[in-house]
Protein backbone atom coordinates (compact mmCIF):
# COMPACT_ATOMS: atom_id res chain seq x y z
CA UNK A 1 0.00 0.00 0.00
CA UNK A 2 1.25 3.51 -0.68
CA UNK A 3 2.38 5.54 2.31
CA UNK A 4 0.27 8.64 2.85
CA UNK A 5 2.03 11.46 4.66
CA UNK A 6 0.27 12.81 7.75
CA UNK A 7 1.99 16.18 7.37
CA UNK A 8 -0.51 18.93 6.62
CA UNK A 9 0.34 22.11 4.81
CA UNK A 10 -1.36 25.49 5.03
CA UNK A 11 -1.94 27.16 1.69
CA UNK A 12 -0.55 30.61 1.09
CA UNK A 13 -3.28 33.19 0.64
CA UNK A 14 -3.54 34.66 -2.88
CA UNK A 15 -1.19 37.60 -3.33
CA UNK A 16 0.79 36.79 -0.19
CA UNK A 17 3.54 34.78 -1.87
CA UNK A 18 7.23 35.56 -1.38
CA UNK A 19 9.04 37.48 -4.11
CA UNK A 20 12.48 36.97 -5.58
CA UNK A 21 14.36 38.73 -8.38
CA UNK A 22 17.84 38.05 -9.72
CA UNK A 23 19.72 41.15 -10.75
CA UNK A 24 23.13 42.61 -10.05
CA UNK A 25 25.66 41.62 -7.40
CA UNK A 26 24.06 44.25 -5.14
CA UNK A 27 21.17 42.75 -3.19
CA UNK A 28 18.30 44.07 -1.10
CA UNK A 29 16.42 42.05 1.51
CA UNK A 30 12.87 43.32 2.07
CA UNK A 31 10.93 42.34 5.22
CA UNK A 32 7.21 42.64 5.95
CA UNK A 33 5.41 43.24 9.23
CA UNK A 34 3.64 41.37 12.02
CA UNK A 35 0.44 39.54 10.89
CA UNK A 36 1.14 40.92 7.41
CA UNK A 37 2.88 39.26 4.48
CA UNK A 38 4.89 40.11 1.35
CA UNK A 39 1.88 41.87 -0.23
CA UNK A 40 2.52 45.01 1.84
CA UNK A 41 6.13 45.26 0.66
CA UNK A 42 5.75 44.02 -2.91
CA UNK A 43 5.58 47.56 -4.41
CA UNK A 44 8.91 48.48 -2.79
CA UNK A 45 10.45 45.16 -3.86
CA UNK A 46 9.28 45.72 -7.43
CA UNK A 47 10.87 49.18 -7.57
CA UNK A 48 14.18 47.80 -6.32
CA UNK A 49 14.08 44.86 -8.72
CA UNK A 50 13.31 47.20 -11.62
CA UNK A 51 16.36 49.23 -10.59
CA UNK A 52 18.46 46.15 -11.31
CA UNK A 53 19.17 44.82 -7.81
CA UNK A 54 18.81 41.25 -6.68
CA UNK A 55 15.83 41.29 -4.32
CA UNK A 56 14.45 38.84 -1.78
CA UNK A 57 11.10 39.38 -0.06
CA UNK A 58 10.47 36.28 2.06
CA UNK A 59 7.20 35.24 3.65
CA UNK A 60 7.98 34.97 7.34
CA UNK A 61 6.88 31.78 9.15
CA UNK A 62 3.20 31.72 10.08
CA UNK A 63 2.36 34.71 7.90
CA UNK A 64 0.23 34.84 4.77
CA UNK A 65 -1.59 31.61 5.60
CA UNK A 66 -3.81 31.53 8.70
CA UNK A 67 -3.91 32.89 12.23
CA UNK A 68 -3.83 29.31 13.52
CA UNK A 69 -0.62 28.76 11.57
CA UNK A 70 0.92 31.91 13.00
CA UNK A 71 0.08 30.83 16.54
CA UNK A 72 2.62 28.00 16.19
CA UNK A 73 5.46 30.49 15.57
CA UNK A 74 7.52 32.95 17.61
CA UNK A 75 10.13 35.69 17.27
CA UNK A 76 12.76 32.94 17.14
CA UNK A 77 11.18 31.63 13.93
CA UNK A 78 10.76 35.05 12.31
CA UNK A 79 14.26 36.25 13.16
CA UNK A 80 15.81 32.95 12.05
CA UNK A 81 14.00 33.17 8.72
CA UNK A 82 15.14 36.76 8.22
CA UNK A 83 18.72 35.81 9.05
CA UNK A 84 18.62 32.80 6.70
CA UNK A 85 17.30 34.98 3.88
CA UNK A 86 20.08 37.50 4.50
CA UNK A 87 22.76 34.80 4.52
CA UNK A 88 21.39 33.29 1.32
CA UNK A 89 21.26 36.66 -0.45
CA UNK A 90 24.75 37.53 0.79
CA UNK A 91 26.09 34.32 -0.73
CA UNK A 92 24.87 35.51 -4.13
CA UNK A 93 25.74 39.19 -3.80
CA UNK A 94 28.77 41.30 -2.99
CA UNK A 95 26.79 43.80 -0.91
CA UNK A 96 23.38 43.72 0.77
CA UNK A 97 21.03 46.37 2.12
CA UNK A 98 17.89 45.66 4.15
CA UNK A 99 14.45 47.33 4.10
CA UNK A 100 11.74 46.61 6.69
CA UNK A 101 8.22 47.71 7.61
CA UNK A 102 6.94 47.59 11.21
CA UNK A 103 8.13 44.25 12.70
CA UNK A 104 10.17 43.99 9.53
CA UNK A 105 11.93 47.11 10.78
CA UNK A 106 12.64 45.35 14.07
CA UNK A 107 14.06 42.44 12.11
CA UNK A 108 16.10 44.87 10.02
CA UNK A 109 17.63 46.21 13.23
CA UNK A 110 18.18 42.64 14.46
CA UNK A 111 20.14 41.85 11.30
CA UNK A 112 22.10 45.13 11.30
CA UNK A 113 23.16 44.47 14.88
CA UNK A 114 24.52 41.04 13.96
CA UNK A 115 25.85 41.72 10.47
CA UNK A 116 27.98 44.89 10.35
CA UNK A 117 28.63 44.13 6.68
CA UNK A 118 25.11 45.36 5.85
CA UNK A 119 25.69 48.48 3.75
CA UNK A 120 22.45 50.29 4.60
CA UNK A 121 19.11 49.87 6.37
CA UNK A 122 15.71 51.42 5.64
CA UNK A 123 13.13 51.49 8.44
CA UNK A 124 9.49 52.18 7.51
CA UNK A 125 7.40 52.85 10.63
CA UNK A 126 9.58 50.35 12.48
CA UNK A 127 8.96 48.57 15.75
CA UNK A 128 12.27 48.74 17.63
CA UNK A 129 11.24 49.92 21.10
CA UNK A 130 9.67 47.83 23.89
CA UNK A 131 6.08 48.70 24.82
CA UNK A 132 5.06 50.56 27.96
CA UNK A 133 4.76 48.44 31.07
CA UNK A 134 1.00 49.07 31.17
CA UNK A 135 0.56 47.53 27.72
CA UNK A 136 2.68 44.54 28.62
CA UNK A 137 0.77 44.04 31.88
CA UNK A 138 -2.54 44.18 30.02
CA UNK A 139 -1.28 41.63 27.51
CA UNK A 140 -0.26 39.23 30.27
CA UNK A 141 -3.63 39.63 31.98
CA UNK A 142 -5.45 38.72 28.78
CA UNK A 143 -3.25 35.68 28.25
CA UNK A 144 -3.73 34.58 31.86
CA UNK A 145 -7.50 34.86 31.33
CA UNK A 146 -7.27 32.51 28.34
CA UNK A 147 -7.75 35.12 25.63
CA UNK A 148 -5.89 33.96 22.51
CA UNK A 149 -6.60 36.72 20.00
CA UNK A 150 -7.80 40.31 19.79
CA UNK A 151 -8.99 42.39 16.84
CA UNK A 152 -6.71 42.89 13.88
CA UNK A 153 -4.00 45.53 13.86
CA UNK A 154 -3.62 45.22 10.09
CA UNK A 155 -4.53 47.51 7.22
CA UNK A 156 -3.96 50.80 9.06
CA UNK A 157 -4.13 52.75 5.80
CA UNK A 158 -5.45 56.27 5.13
CA UNK A 159 -5.85 55.88 1.36
CA UNK A 160 -9.39 55.00 0.43
CA UNK A 161 -9.71 51.64 -1.29
CA UNK A 162 -6.22 50.43 -0.36
CA UNK A 163 -6.22 47.27 1.75
CA UNK A 164 -3.46 45.24 3.37
CA UNK A 165 -3.96 41.48 3.07
CA UNK A 166 -3.30 40.98 6.77
CA UNK A 167 -4.93 38.63 9.28
CA UNK A 168 -8.35 39.47 10.72
CA UNK A 169 -7.13 38.79 14.27
CA UNK A 170 -3.97 39.33 16.33
CA UNK A 171 -2.61 36.30 18.24
CA UNK A 172 -1.58 37.46 21.70
CA UNK A 173 1.06 34.81 22.42
CA UNK A 174 2.80 35.94 19.25
CA UNK A 175 2.58 39.56 20.40
CA UNK A 176 4.26 38.60 23.67
CA UNK A 177 7.03 36.82 21.79
CA UNK A 178 7.44 39.83 19.51
CA UNK A 179 7.85 42.16 22.48
CA UNK A 180 10.47 39.85 24.00
CA UNK A 181 12.42 39.91 20.75
CA UNK A 182 12.19 43.69 20.55
CA UNK A 183 13.57 43.96 24.09
CA UNK A 184 16.85 42.52 22.82
CA UNK A 185 16.80 44.53 19.60
CA UNK A 186 16.35 47.79 21.51
CA UNK A 187 19.20 47.05 23.90
CA UNK A 188 21.60 46.64 20.97
CA UNK A 189 20.60 49.56 18.71
CA UNK A 190 23.86 51.38 19.45
CA UNK A 191 25.77 48.59 17.71
CA UNK A 192 24.25 49.48 14.32
CA UNK A 193 26.94 51.16 12.24
CA UNK A 194 25.35 51.02 8.77
CA UNK A 195 23.79 54.17 7.29
CA UNK A 196 20.11 54.35 8.19
CA UNK A 197 17.02 55.87 6.58
CA UNK A 198 13.92 56.21 8.78
CA UNK A 199 10.52 56.86 7.17
CA UNK A 200 7.94 57.84 9.80
CA UNK A 201 4.22 58.51 9.44
CA UNK A 202 2.99 61.47 11.48
CA UNK A 203 -0.25 59.62 12.17
CA UNK A 204 0.33 55.93 12.94
CA UNK A 205 -2.26 53.93 14.89
CA UNK A 206 -0.09 50.83 15.30
CA UNK A 207 3.50 51.85 16.11
CA UNK A 208 4.30 55.14 17.84
CA UNK A 209 6.80 57.49 16.21
CA UNK A 210 9.12 57.35 19.22
CA UNK A 211 10.34 54.07 17.74
CA UNK A 212 11.89 56.14 14.98
CA UNK A 213 13.20 58.53 17.63
CA UNK A 214 15.03 55.59 19.23
CA UNK A 215 16.87 54.89 15.98
CA UNK A 216 17.82 58.53 15.56
CA UNK A 217 19.12 58.70 19.12
CA UNK A 218 20.86 55.36 19.47
CA UNK A 219 22.33 53.98 16.25
CA UNK A 220 26.03 54.62 15.71
CA UNK A 221 25.86 55.13 11.95
CA UNK A 222 24.51 58.10 10.03
CA UNK A 223 20.73 58.56 10.19
CA UNK A 224 18.40 60.36 7.80
CA UNK A 225 14.74 60.77 8.72
CA UNK A 226 11.83 61.65 6.46
CA UNK A 227 8.32 62.30 7.76
CA UNK A 228 5.31 60.95 5.89
CA UNK A 229 2.49 63.46 6.16
CA UNK A 230 -0.35 61.64 4.38
CA UNK A 231 -0.16 58.00 5.48
CA UNK A 232 -0.96 55.78 8.43
CA UNK A 233 1.06 52.71 9.47
CA UNK A 234 1.21 50.69 6.23
CA UNK A 235 2.78 53.55 4.32
CA UNK A 236 3.93 51.26 1.51
CA UNK A 237 0.27 50.91 0.41
CA UNK A 238 -0.85 54.42 1.40
CA UNK A 239 -0.87 57.90 -0.08
CA UNK A 240 2.87 58.35 0.51
CA UNK A 241 3.80 55.09 -1.25
CA UNK A 242 5.46 56.89 -4.19
CA UNK A 243 7.59 58.89 -1.74
CA UNK A 244 8.49 55.74 0.22
CA UNK A 245 9.51 53.97 -2.96
CA UNK A 246 11.51 56.90 -4.36
CA UNK A 247 13.34 57.63 -1.11
CA UNK A 248 14.11 53.96 -0.52
CA UNK A 249 15.48 53.54 -4.04
CA UNK A 250 17.55 56.72 -3.78
CA UNK A 251 18.99 55.69 -0.40
CA UNK A 252 19.86 52.21 -1.65
CA UNK A 253 21.57 53.72 -4.68
CA UNK A 254 23.62 56.01 -2.43
CA UNK A 255 24.81 53.25 -0.08
CA UNK A 256 25.76 51.12 -3.06
CA UNK A 257 27.65 54.06 -4.49
CA UNK A 258 25.61 54.33 -7.70
CA 161 to chain centre: 23
Which residues is 223 bridged to in the sheet?
196
Active site positions, annotated = 102, 204, 233
In tens, the pLDDT along 199-249 reads: 999 999 999 999 999 999 999 999 999 999 999 999 999 999 999 999 999
CATH class of 19-255: alpha beta
pLDDT tens column, 112-148: 999 999 999 999 999 999 999 999 999 999 999 999 9
Amino acid sequence: MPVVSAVMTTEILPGCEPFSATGSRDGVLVLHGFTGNPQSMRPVANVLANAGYSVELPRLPGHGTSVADMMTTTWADWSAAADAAFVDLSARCDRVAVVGLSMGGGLTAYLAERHPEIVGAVFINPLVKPPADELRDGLNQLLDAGVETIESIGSDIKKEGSVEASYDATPLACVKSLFEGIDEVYSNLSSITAPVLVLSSRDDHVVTSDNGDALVEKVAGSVERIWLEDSFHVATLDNDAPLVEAQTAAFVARVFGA
